Structure 1
Amino acid sequence: MSTTTPAPSASTTKITKAITKTVRKAVNALLKWQNSKLQTEKPDLLESDEFAYLVLTLKKIPPKARINAYKVPFPNPLHSQLSELCLIYDDGPKSDLTKDFIQKKIKAENIPISKILKLSKLKTDYVPFEAKRKLLYSYDMFLADRRIVLLLPKYLGKQFFKKKKIPVPVDLEHKNWKEQVDKACGSALLFSGRASW
């Protein structure tokens, strides 16, 4: 028995267009204000980045708190091919993954991962706070084998949670790595409740 998804109603389409128009108007006003500010202020001796934050709200909030973030897909990806992504994988005796295998798969499928990090190396080389901090700021996004995600809070520390850079779980037992990475890069991460980090 096949099911069909009903087409959006005229009122839903009208609301979506109105929201898009309002967002576009707000972004244009923000850019205009920023440009006028840059022209009137004296230039800084030291360059500094200015950030614009986008706050999203949902009509329905997920009922349970959980460590893993909910993925909210966006039509345009937040992370591009230029983003620095780090993949943490299990290299324990029970794991069948090797660095060589992962590198070949990443290259063959053109997956935008720039760093592969063994769990054993995370445990030994990133014990000091400064090393964890450097790792945190070295990459735009972290991905991890879903089988080890619950072990990571102990080794990464609270700063990863505070900065919303908790590794996104990916299932490395399945073949569709690129699809999973693209989905993670094209989504905003919604953290519900308080995780025990």
Structure 2
Amino acid sequence: MSFPLGKKTLEDTKKSLESLIAHEIKQGNSGHEFVYLVINMERPLTKVRDHTPRIVPIPNRLSRISERSVLLITKDPSTPYRDPLTRAKSPTEDLFKDIMPLKKVKTLTRSTKSAKNMLSEYDLILADHRIHHLLPDIMGEVFYRAHKRVPFVVQLAQITEEDMKKPLKRQERVERCDAQYVLKQMRSIAKNTYYFPSRDAQIVLKVGYIDTEPEKLCQNIGAVIEFLHNEKFLPSGGVLKKNPMKELFVKTNNSASLPIWVKKD
């Protein structure tokens, strides 16, 4: 396989991954524990808090949407979206554990206890793009601290050229819901990895699990590096073109970081 940083870095990456996997297995850790790629950069990507996950395509999937416990948060009311997404023979018929309007989310996250109860119910939260920006203040630290369970943005219908001609406030009132279009976004979110623009000159991304073959982990790492370097993938990708990497590491939640590449002085 080709690798964006060359053959030697690919070999070093494989060695570090093999050592990491062997250590985790020896420690008796679950095979489904995440492996992370840590990218240290010369500068932070942003100076402000950014709670919008950026999807990064990878060749070897992290999960399937059918394996996830999914909450969708919509504009008030949720009925115009719930019906097309859950009706019989809809492509998303069985994929949502719950679909909630924003008003209900406000009620369920009023106290820390109720917010924690809600957090434990879902491992993937999606939010209508029209209300996503409101959620940090509503859902609070229980969900957003260390990006614990930050909602992913979805559009419930594709924006048409005719919609784009309308004033922004009228665009936001569009009540269409296209289940097939929503499904496409859900599959991408479940399959691929993601990052948050950091104020700490560091990006951390999931690239697989300790029971993933090292070759597949390397393929995912290569895809991440290519996406983040290549300006054709702007605005989510290409962010490292003008903000060079200093170091790359792989790790798990509990392990030390193992180096796979360090920038030469």
Instruction: Indicate whether the TM-score tops 0.5.
Output: yes
* Aligned-residue offset at 1:101: 2.5
What is the distance in 1 between the residues matched to 2:108 and 2:3? 52
Which residue identity does 1:133 align to in structure 2?
Answer: K
Q: For the aligned residues, what is the CA RMSD?
A: 3.4
1:33 has 2:23 as partner = yes
* Aligned-residue offset at 1:77: 2.5
The residue matched to 2:156 in structure 1 has which SS? coil
* Conserved 8 A contact 1:99-1:116: yes
Superposition TM-score, scaled by structure 2 size: 0.54
Question: Counterpart of 2:232?
Answer: none
1:166 has 2:150 as partner = yes
Question: Counterpart of 2:74?
Answer: 89
Once the two structures are superposed, residues 163-195 of structure 1 have per-residue CA deviations (whole angstroms, 9 ceiling, x without a partner) of: 42211110112231111111222232221146x
User: Which one scores higher on RCO, CA 8 angstroms, separation ≥ 6?
Assistant: 2
- Structure 2's unaligned 5+ residue stretches are 159-177, 200-265
What is the distance in 2 between the residues matched to 1:96 and 1:117? 9
Superposition TM-score, scaled by structure 1 size: 0.69
What is the distance in 2 between the residues matched to 1:108 and 1:131? 31
The residue matched to 1:166 in structure 2 has which SS? coil
Count of residue correspondences: 173
The residue matched to 2:134 in structure 1 has which SS? helix
Question: Counterpart of 1:191?
Answer: 196
Q: Structure 1's 52 and 190: CA in aligned 2 closer, same or farther, altered over 3 A?
A: closer
1:142 has 2:125 as partner = yes
* Aligned-residue offset at 1:144: 0.4
1:177 has 2:182 as partner = yes
* Conserved 8 A contact 2:126-2:151: yes
Question: Counterpart of 2:105?
Answer: 122
Q: Structure 1's 89 and 20: CA in aligned 2 closer, same or farther, altered over 3 A?
A: farther
What is the distance in 1 between the residues matched to 2:8 and 2:96? 37
What is the distance in 2 between the residues matched to 1:85 and 1:17? 40
Q: Structure 1's 144 and 132: CA in aligned 2 closer, same or farther, altered over 3 A?
A: same
- Structure 1's unaligned 5+ residue stretches are 1-9, 39-46
Question: Counterpart of 1:41?
Answer: none
Q: Structure 1's 34 and 154: CA in aligned 2 closer, same or farther, altered over 3 A?
A: closer
Q: Structure 1's 37 and 116: CA in aligned 2 closer, same or farther, altered over 3 A?
A: same
Looking at secondary structure, tell me which structure has more strand per residue.
2
What is the distance in 2 between the residues matched to 1:50 and 1:184? 18
The residue matched to 2:39 in structure 1 has which SS? coil
